[in-house]
Structure 1
Amino acid sequence: MDTLLDAAALKERLKAGKRTVLLDVRWALGDPHGREHYLRGHLPGAVFVDLATELAAPADPRRGRHPLPPREQFEEAARRWGVNNDDVVVAYDDSGNMAAARLWWMLRDAGFGSVHLLDGGLAAWRAAGFELASGPEQPEPGDVTLGDGAMPAIDAGEAASWSRHGLLLDARAGERYRGEVEPIDPRAGHIPGAVSAPTSANLAADGRFLSPAELRARFEALGVGAGVATAVYCGSGVTAAHEVAALEIAGFRAALYPGSFSEWSTDPSNDVVTGTAPYGQEAASR
């Protein structure tokens, strides 16, 4: 199943009457008004998904700012959105799929394979001149059955030693990786051994993913390869899912560290390093 679906292909699918569940994951760090944005304009028939309450459990210092919710809770939410076992789901947002990728990853992890990201998200739909709807949508409840564990994932213990045998990518902005700023988490810097790989570099100027060849070249330059065990983290496990999707588009499989830096940096027993080098400034100067 392809990771991406472009706006024209989605429009044709809907026009042909093919069963498609559209899920709007309007969320961005520092913007709590996703539902309001959705109500003002969304793809016709799209159901709003609240990332903070439906794609995450309450924040927990031991598990991070956006812990994965229990399987039963996620299944209940998916049924509320109208998802059935044989449906095709298309997720999108208005921020280059930085939030929608969380839903994509969770459905894939739950064993639900027929899920796509709308490439370019709401901006691509608008740019194509396609219509929008306003107000809430109330779908018929679905009957989907979800599992868990279908996608590779690692925990803090594995993250601590990952770079000794593989490649650990930090998907946050470069200034957060280097420890120059840290607006949210208790310590600034990165997990020792991690390589900076900002998620924003997965996208072209129009918010669409780079081509598979361009993404492959990007990740190979960072050290990703067919025989390299790769894992990804970010601040709270949300945008790291975007990097996992980009890696998949490029032809690579990668594990997600769901707790990410918000979990890691809260534990005082975990080292945090700063600077541009994977093992910190001191290692870089030796």
Structure 2
Amino acid sequence: MIWKNKIAILLICFVSCKKDSKTQLKDMSKERLNSNTGYYSTKHLIECEELMMLQTASNIKIIDFRKPKVFLKEHIVNAINIWRTDIEDNSLSYKGIMASRSKIEALFSRLGIKQEDELIIYDDSGACDSSRLWWLLKNYGFHNVKILNGGFTEWKRKKGGLTSNFIKYDASNFKFPFKKNMSLYASLEDIKSLIIDENTILLDTRNEDEFSGKRQKKGSSRSGHIPNSTLLDWAHAVDFNTTKKFKSYKDLLDLYQLKGITKEKEIYVYCHSGVRSAHTAFVLTELLGYKNVKNYDGSWIEWSFNKDLPVQQDTITTIFK
């Protein structure tokens, strides 16, 4: 009987130690939310220390969202590479529109990503690019996504594992959930029909030179901004001079509220191609808890392409390639 009791004890210990890594990830996120961040939610945010503990788990896929040539030089161990051009619709006369469900499903299947996987996305641009992929996936009903706070910069600072080798997973048959969730999405028609009043804000998240029309970035057909827009550069939400991590809850809330961007208002964000504005959508909805935020997918590239739509300019333009 003694040996049977010992076996039973060993089995109990084994089962306890085999706690699913996804559950660990959720537990740590809850603990972190309750202890020190103060953010409205950390459901879609992960710190480097957490990833170091979980990066070899079978249900974790790490996405390096940087240009392929940068990825090949050095990246986080076990990361696979995706870039903006992989998730864009290339059938249009202008760039930047998000790719179809079927295109993303084919991409993920080719990369070996499965429906049950937890995706950890990082970049080296203050989570700007990562936020675009987060936003796209959320629109298509896929929520198992976390952004690495501080990205590649913070990972290197914490001496996380790096390599120039790349991993290849067996192909999968990835499918999005049947139901979409387009609550964060705004189309050209949505923006055209907007009535800007004290309850609605059209927020331009580009820099001052782009907003004024002094600078015209490649891909756009005209310079300036959509009439009645409010300017607030997305980059002010990140500690760019140090960690490239998101600023504190208080600093972020002060940043937006001082511009009159408050929680009870309906907010439509845009930038050059919907990437920087996706970052602002992440900050407002996930970190601050705003409920009425939509990101204009086509942003300035699409708006400026349509010559019948009005623009405002404040200065002489220099075109930047």
- The TM-score by the shorter chain falls in which range? 0.7 to 0.9
Provide the residue aligned with 1:168 in structure 2. Answer: 202
Change (3 A) 1:24 1:190: same
Scaled by the length of structure 1, what TM-score is found?
0.87
Number of residue pairs aligned between Structure 1 and Structure 2: 265
Q: Deviations over 1:64-119 (max 9, x none)?
A: 42111111111111222322222211101111121111111111111111101101
Change (3 A) 1:162 1:100: farther
Change (3 A) 1:143 1:59: closer
Gapped regions of structure 1 (runs ≥ 5): 27-33, 277-286
Partner of 1:80, secondary structure, is helix
Provide the residue aligned with 1:66 in structure 2. Answer: 96
- Report the alpha carbon displacement of residue 19 of structure 1 after superposing the two structures with TM: 2.3
Name the CA distance, whole Å, in 1 between partners of 2:195 and 2:266: 8
Farther off after superposition, 204-213 or 167-176: 204-213
- Identical-pair percentage: 24
Scaled by the length of structure 2, what TM-score is found?
0.78
Provide the residue aligned with 1:38 in structure 2. Answer: 71
Name the CA distance, whole Å, in 1 between partners of 2:131 and 2:263: 23
Q: Deviations over 1:197-234 (max 9, x none)?
A: 11111101221111222212211222222221111111
Name the CA distance, whole Å, in 2 between partners of 1:106 and 1:120: 21
Name the CA distance, whole Å, in 2 between partners of 1:217 and 1:163: 23
Provide the residue aligned with 1:281 in structure 2. Answer: none
Name the CA distance, whole Å, in 2 between partners of 1:93 and 1:141: 24
Residue number among 50, 62, 65 corresponding to 1:25 in the alignment: 65
Residue 204 of structure 2 contacts residue 230 of structure 2 at CA under 8 Å; is this kept in 1? yes
Provide the residue aligned with 1:47 in structure 2. Answer: 80
Residue 21 of structure 1 contacts residue 82 of structure 1 at CA under 8 Å; is this kept in 2? no
Change (3 A) 1:115 1:194: same
Q: Which has the higher strand share?
A: 2
Name the CA distance, whole Å, in 1 between partners of 2:190 and 2:137: 23
Partner of 1:265, secondary structure, is helix
AA aligned to 1:157 is E
Residue 154 of structure 1 contacts residue 258 of structure 1 at CA under 8 Å; is this kept in 2? yes
AA aligned to 2:123 is D
Partner of 1:182, secondary structure, is strand
- Report the alpha carbon displacement of residue 57 of structure 1 after superposing the two structures with TM: 1.2
Provide the residue aligned with 1:157 in structure 2. Answer: 189
Q: Deviations over 1:108-143 (max 9, x none)?
A: 111111101101111110000111011332112233
Name the CA distance, whole Å, in 2 between partners of 1:59 and 1:136: 30
Partner of 1:209, secondary structure, is coil
Find the structure with the greater CA-based Rg.
2
Provide the residue aligned with 1:85 in structure 2. Answer: 115
Q: Does 1:209 align with 2:246?
A: yes
Provide the alpha-carbon RMSD of the alignment: 1.8
Q: Does 1:270 align with 2:303?
A: no
Residue 89 of structure 2 contacts residue 97 of structure 2 at CA under 8 Å; is this kept in 1? yes
